[in-house]
Chains A and B, each alone.
Chain A
């Protein structure tokens, strides 16, 4: 662990995080040994993966909001070097959640309280926090409303008077109420159309630059993640299968799943049709042996029946794929992962 200088200390460091659920008589390893760091203020990490890969579970594990059937929750979560796992639930609630790490929940814009003025909804965490009185809270809410591009006149409005994009701005303002250092956004634009999505992304880019909020941005769309994020982590069946700088991942993915995610996006220019993702996501209670992606992987070869570790790759980050281990991959090592063009 880096001691000493603030500059060296990562904002967030997560090591070997696990979250298991009891599902009937079986166990779901929703977060299965995930490690990553967010090095500095204003850095955004994009977590990308299909439904069921464990993205929301990871977010909930970070902010310690666990369902009743969680049966394993361990690993290290260090915020500014301080181990959050050592905190009691009460201390976590008082000192960390919303104050240091805030979250925009998946679908939150659809569950705004319909009978509460939006200004009062945003003020709620401030008043619970008891550091501001009512008048100070109101002034703060007004400045937040302006910060998220709504304007203070929205204070007295009700959710039904707002468009989808405006509701999502309210949710973001609520998350910002206690000036967190880290904002976790779980699919914040999935219910919005491309135009409104672009407006929300503009807002997130602004907040990232000033006041320099760090972000964990969760999405199933790797293109969208790359629009905001410096680093990308690709989640599959509870694990990160690839991480690295977005600039590297977009041009040189080193895990087949990442390459296939990129190839599945329709491109604006050129006539190469997008390629469908092969196969179906695995059954979370019966994960495949070895590489969890192997039943769907066009590149699989004999070694894939063993579970690959995180293998560092050129350009930064790692890929959990045997193709990146020269001793295992042989002459397959280092070949670009080219996805066959789909037959239209």
Chain B
């Protein structure tokens, strides 16, 4: 099957074309082997022809429902998994096939913050042990240097005074505080790029903002680039510069956050927006038309699409539909420019 693809640039460029992006995926597909029966193996195409670029100090929001391939995109961008096809670049270096033992430098410059601060932290380790652990792994032997860097990381996530937080256990902390520890663990290596995979979805709605603001501060203050993975497109509006919408392994829309939400072009983007329960009296009690994995791809077609649903299973191109060249939407047939 041919993949859905951007007209692939031979050397990836950032959206404005000015600067080499920090992270770039070029027509990347990822497949997993799965057991479909007792002896039969099948293949799941988790990611299908995804191209994206993240500039230095930029936050790209990657949104979509669960199972759409967001985590897999995050992991392939860190080269925690190898793509089946396509290329992965970090700071201009092709890391598509680099063996793990040659990726030590990447393991320092690129980090991940997990969804679940509860299960990703060892409850028997103190905060200080958790935050220093990456340094121990990196062979930073000096106790003073380790503490110095851990203290700075704790201060950067507002766990101050660091000395007092250092000896606490995550079990005695709130969800938001635990996630701060998770972020400090990522920060202690001074990364340029962090994949934040649903960093607030397990946290109370009212406690999410302080964590997202913290990440935003690291982006603007320290110049860290983020892939912010979420199923909540409303939070991406405020905490991502651009939004990429993922559906069944492919990107269906990419653009500036405000643009994508105020003028969504793809029907699936619209359904993600419609699913947000905004606290607005005019928005209550509505039945929400929700796209889902159960929905046939043929239904994910814009009502104005001149080609109708019958070609929806063909490969799509991500192309500009409006006068904004950075606002791209998947089209199965063609891109009527300047519409």
B108 within 8 A of A: no
Question: Would you call B174 and A280 a contact (CB within 8 A)?
Answer: yes
B21-29, B129-137, B139-147, B201-209 - interface stretch: B201-209
The answer for the CA separation of A264 and B262 in the assembled complex, in Å, is 21
Question: Would you call B209 and A275 a contact (CB within 8 A)?
Answer: yes
> Of all chain A residues, which has the CB nearest B279?
A223
Report the minimum CB–CB distance from A149 to chain B (whole Å). Answer: 10
B322 within 8 A of A: no
B238 within 8 A of A: yes
> Of all chain B residues, which has the CB nearest A219?
B205
Question: Would you call A196 and B292 a contact (CB within 8 A)?
Answer: yes
Chain A residues 24 to 64 lying within 8 A of chain B, measured CB to CB, are 50-51
- What is the number of residues of chain A that contact chain B, defined by CB distance less than 8 Å? 45
A selection of 26 A-B contacts at a CB cut-off of 8 Å is A51-B174, A198-B275, A199-B290, A201-B288, A202-B288, A222-B205, A223-B205, A223-B278, A226-B281, A226-B283, A227-B285, A250-B280, A260-B206, A261-B205, A266-B234, A266-B235, A266-B239, A267-B234, A267-B278, A268-B233, A268-B234, A268-B261, A271-B238, A277-B210, A281-B174, A344-B238
Contact flags A229-272 to B (C-beta < 8 A → 1, else 0) = 00000000000000000110011000000001110111111010
Given contacts A220-B206, A223-B205, A268-B273, contact A193 B281 (CB under 8 A): no
A133 within 8 A of B: no
B167 within 8 A of A: no
Question: Would you call A251 and B232 a contact (CB within 8 A)?
Answer: no
Interface centre among A194, A264, A274, A281 (most CB of B within 10 A): A194
- Complex A-B, nearest 8 residue pairs according to Cβ-Cβ distance, in ascending order: A193-B231, A198-B275, A227-B277, A223-B279, A276-B210, A195-B65, A221-B205, A198-B288
A342 within 8 A of B: yes
Question: Would you call B275 and A268 a contact (CB within 8 A)?
Answer: no
Q: Given A163-B293, A194-B276, A268-B234, 18 other A-B contacts at CB below 8 A?
A: A196-B66, A197-B277, A198-B274, A198-B288, A202-B290, A220-B205, A223-B279, A260-B206, A261-B205, A264-B206, A264-B209, A266-B232, A267-B237, A275-B209, A276-B209, A276-B210, A280-B174, A342-B213
Question: Would you call A50 and B207 a contact (CB within 8 A)?
Answer: yes
Contact flags B204-224 to A (C-beta < 8 A → 1, else 0) = 111111100100100000000
B14 within 8 A of A: no
> Of all chain A residues, which has the CB nearest B210?
A276
Question: Would you call B206 and A224 a contact (CB within 8 A)?
Answer: no
Contact flags A333-344 to B (C-beta < 8 A → 1, else 0) = 000000000101
**How many A-B pairs with Cβ below 8 Å?**
132
A164 within 8 A of B: yes
Contacts of A227 in B (CB 8 A): 277, 283-286
Question: Would you call B204 and A51 a contact (CB within 8 A)?
Answer: yes
Q: Which of B209, B234, B275 contacts A195 (CB 8 A)?
A: B275
Question: Would you call A277 and B209 a contact (CB within 8 A)?
Answer: yes
Q: Which of A51, A163, A222, A273 contacts B279 (CB 8 A)?
A: A222
The answer for the CA separation of A122 and B124 in the assembled complex, in Å, is 39
Contacts of A276 in B (CB 8 A): 209-210, 213
Contacts of B280 in A (CB 8 A): 226, 250
A109 within 8 A of B: no
B271 within 8 A of A: yes
Contacts of A344 in B (CB 8 A): 213, 216, 238
The answer for the CA separation of A342 and B209 in the assembled complex, in Å, is 10
Contacts of B258 in A (CB 8 A): 271
Question: Would you call B238 and A273 a contact (CB within 8 A)?
Answer: yes
B320 within 8 A of A: no
Contacts of A267 in B (CB 8 A): 234, 237, 278
B291 within 8 A of A: yes
Report the minimum CB–CB distance from B212 to chain A (whole Å). Answer: 8
The answer for the CA separation of A281 and B203 in the assembled complex, in Å, is 13
B287 within 8 A of A: yes
Report the minimum CB–CB distance from A83 to chain B (whole Å). Answer: 33
Contacts of A163 in B (CB 8 A): 293
Report the minimum CB–CB distance from A40 to chain B (whole Å). Answer: 16
Question: Would you call A266 and B204 a contact (CB within 8 A)?
Answer: no
Contact flags B45-85 to A (C-beta < 8 A → 1, else 0) = 00000000000000000000110000000000000000000
Question: Would you call B275 and A194 a contact (CB within 8 A)?
Answer: yes
Given contacts A50-B204, A195-B272, contact A266 B290 (CB under 8 A): no
Question: Would you call B66 and A193 a contact (CB within 8 A)?
Answer: yes
Contacts of A251 in B (CB 8 A): 281
Q: Which of B271, B277, B286, B288 contacts A223 (CB 8 A)?
A: B277
Question: Would you call B278 and A268 a contact (CB within 8 A)?
Answer: yes
Report the minimum CB–CB distance from A150 to chain B (whole Å). Answer: 11
Contacts of B210 in A (CB 8 A): 276-277
Chain B residues 171 to 210 lying within 8 A of chain A, measured CB to CB, are 174-175, 201, 204-210
> Of all chain A residues, which has the CB nearest B175?
A51
Question: Would you call A226 and B279 a contact (CB within 8 A)?
Answer: yes
Contacts of B65 in A (CB 8 A): 193-196
Given contacts A196-B65, A228-B285, A250-B280, contact A266 B209 (CB under 8 A): yes
Question: Would you call A195 and B292 a contact (CB within 8 A)?
Answer: yes
> Of all chain B residues, which has the CB nearest A232?
B279
Q: Which of A198, A246, A273 contacts B290 (CB 8 A)?
A: A198
Question: Would you call A262 and B292 a contact (CB within 8 A)?
Answer: no
Contacts of B290 in A (CB 8 A): 195, 198-199, 202
A140 within 8 A of B: no
Report the minimum CB–CB distance from A91 to chain B (whole Å). Answer: 37
Contacts of A274 in B (CB 8 A): 209, 238
Contacts of B262 in A (CB 8 A): 269
Question: Would you call B232 and A194 a contact (CB within 8 A)?
Answer: yes
Interface centre among B175, B283, B291 (most CB of A within 10 A): B283
Contacts of A197 in B (CB 8 A): 275, 277
Contacts of B231 in A (CB 8 A): 193-195
Report the minimum CB–CB distance from B158 to chain A (whole Å). Answer: 11
Contacts of A275 in B (CB 8 A): 209
Report the minimum CB–CB distance from A215 to chain B (whole Å). Answer: 13
The answer for the CA separation of A108 and B334 in the assembled complex, in Å, is 47
Question: Would you call B278 and A277 a contact (CB within 8 A)?
Answer: no
Interface centre among B204, B234, B238 (most CB of A within 10 A): B204
